[in-house]
Structure formats: C-alpha cells, structure tokens
Amino acid sequence: MKKVAVLVQNLHNGGAERMAANLSLELAKYYKVYMIVFDGRDAIYPYGGELIDLKVPPLAEGSAIERVKNTLRRVRRLRYLKKKLGIDCTISHMEGANLVNILSRIRDKVYCVYHSMPSMCESGSGLNKLLHRFLAGHCERYLTVSRLAEADMAESFGVDARKLSCIYNFCDLKKIHEWKERELPAEAEAFYTAHPKVLVSMGRLTHMKAQDRLIRMLKELREKEKGLGLLILGGGEERPALLQLAEELDISGHLYLPGEMEDPFPYLKHADVFALPSDYEGLPMVLIEAAACALPVVSADIPSGPREILAPDTDIRKRTEEIEYAKYGILVPSCAAEPRRGPLSEREKLFSGAIGNLLEDPALYRRYRDSSEECAERFSADHIIFEWRELIEKGV
C-alpha cells in the first residue's frame, strides 16, 4: 500500500484547507495517509489517516530572515518525516506548503496544488513568475482547481503547460446529505424563525470575499422583502467591520454571523438563496455545497470558477455584463471595481435584482432548486478521486 502525505497549513482556516482535509478522507480509502499540518491548533475539519502536527505555525511578526528560518524549520521537520515514514507521494496545498514540499523532497513524488486565480491575486512580476516556474519545474504536476486558472498560469506566468493540470475540488455528497439533516443550534433556529426568508453566503470574512456588499444589498432588498435576513458563515478579520456596517445601516438585527464551523450544511438547507459576491476565487466550493443542499445560487461572474460550475457549456473566458440565467444558477457582472460604500452601484443593483428575482418568482426558484442535484453530482468525490488515483498510481 502506497504511503501518501497531504500537506497544508492548518485544518481550520478556509476553503483550501477544507479541500485538503477532504482529499485525505478519500485517499485514506485506498492508501496509508498522513495528514500533515504546520499548525494543528484549532483543527475543525474532519480528515483521513494519521494527523501529524509539525508545530511550526506562521510568525505573527518577524523580519524576513526570521520568516526564512521558520520555513527552513518546516522543511527540516518534513524531510525527516518523509524519510522516517517512507512517504511515496506528497500532495501540498497553497504556495507556502508547496515550497516546503519541494524543498523537503527525498524520493517521494511531489504534487503541488494552487487554489486561486493567479493573475487576480498576484502581480505578474519577475519574482512571482520565477516562483511558479520553480515550483512547476520541481514537482511531478502543478495542479490548479479550475481550467481558467490553469490557462492563466501558463499565459500570465509562463509556466510550462506540460507540467500543468486541472483537477476540480470535490464534495462528499453523502456526508452533506447526512449532515444537513442535523438540528440547528437554538440561536440559529431563532434567527430563521424571525426571518421567513434568509439569504446566505459562506467563506472566510476577508476583503476579497466582499461580504459587505451583501449587507448593503440587504438594506435595499428588505424594502420589498420585509422578512429577509442575511446569514454569513465563516470567521475572519472583517467580522468587526461587517457588524459595524450593519449597525450603521440600522439592520443589525437582520444579520447573523455564527462564525467558523465544521458543519454548515443545516444552515444552508434552511436558507432560501445563496449569494457569492467575491472579487475572485479559485474554485468556489461553496457554490457546489449550496447546490448539494438544493439551494439556488446567485454568483458574481468572476475569474475563476463560478462559470465553470454554473454554466459549464459556455466559454470559460466569457464575462457577463447583465443578469445571465445559466444552466445551474444565476451569474451577474463582477462588482470587484465598484466602490464598497454609499448607494448601490449599477452592477450591485443587478446582483441585488437577481436575488430579488429568485425570491419573487416561484417558477424560477423551482428551476434552479430542481437542477441543483445534477450540478453537485459533477463534483462528487466518486467522480474526481479517480483522477487523483491515476496521478498517484502513474507517478506523473
């Protein structure tokens, strides 16, 4: 039985970490798996195999030299583990882990996963190009989680296309269907009782996720939907600012931020519409998880991911300038360049209008609710884990 290590920063921080944990769960059905993290504190995501904490968390502060030393500590500890355990294959997620994976290589096959849209979150500077070319040149396969990100990595950063592949992230649909039937906490029950209709979003509370736009939209949407509430699942540094904005708009009682959680699916099941306002993504699994809970979605048509999930038969480079009623959900123009304060911009009004259309049109709502299972099934673990096993078995 092959020994496979899955390497990631931690098991609580965001989508990439959750996907690494999901991968370990599926691979543990076929291999001896080690789930290796730099910082094992506050782990909330279920994982497969044996958990190993390297106990080298990121530095809150420190000079460049101290940060380099911290990285080298990770490399030494991981190299020791690879040798001691006889690791055959190491799959790392995100840039920091990818670099440590390559520098600690002994005889193991190395696979590096990049979880975002390169040109949206990094400059195309010479240094960034060198880093990505170095990573791709020293691993068996440099993997992206969307086809557009794969193309962008080659075109914007000059990475050899022969070293690139796209493997979509996946959902454990069986687990979601089971977990969504769990009872809600009393506080959540009270929020749903007070709000006959609930708009929900999910993701780390950061600036690029743009949850503040939804709070401003809520103010307008409640003019027609008096019983509408907004639920945002996740934790992060923007939480105080989001609460402050809701207070300024006098809608604090209609915003609920329950924080990070292992099991968000009962919350999704009881909501009415899912919204993704992010400025950019890699492959937003939250759209797939919403579909798995039969929840219609409205998403900004951003690079990358939403179009590949909701409109798979269209050109991945297309960007809509109007409300687009796609196969599996509604796409609206990106608001990334719009101001984040004051009255809603025209693009934000389109986004808000699409949400309102779903809430007000029963036939449209049923259309997307009924197609949600088909959408989610394309990203099931059973379909996608085959691609990972093929990589591991062939060692390419």
Residues 150 and 337: their CA atoms lie apart, in Å, by 24
Q: Which residue has the tokens 């962008």?
A: 152
Q: What is the pLDDT of residue 392?
A: 96
| 3-class DSSP state of 205 | coil
Contact (CB, 8 A) for 89 and 1? no
Q: What is the pLDDT of residue 157?
A: 93
Residues 137 and 394: their CA atoms lie apart, in Å, by 18
Tokens representing 49 are 């195999």
Question: How is residue 278 annotated by DSSP?
Answer: -
Cis peptide before 304 (omega within 30 of 0): yes
Contact (CB, 8 A) for 136 and 110? no
pTM value > 0.95 = no
Contact (CB, 8 A) for 113 and 127? no
Which domains are seen in the chain, by residue range?
3-170+380-394 (3.40.50.2000), 174-377 (3.40.50.2000)
Contact (CB, 8 A) for 56 and 79? no
Q: How far is CA 98 from CA 24, 138, 187, in A?
A: 16, 10, 40
pLDDT digits over 43-77, tens only? 999 999 999 999 999 988 889 999 999 999 999 99
- Give how far the C-alpha of residue 226 lies from the chain's centroid of Cα atoms, to the nearest Å: 31
pLDDT digits over 179-200, tens only? 999 999 999 999 999 999 999 9
Q: How confident is the model at residue 124 (pLDDT cuts 50, 70, 90)?
A: low
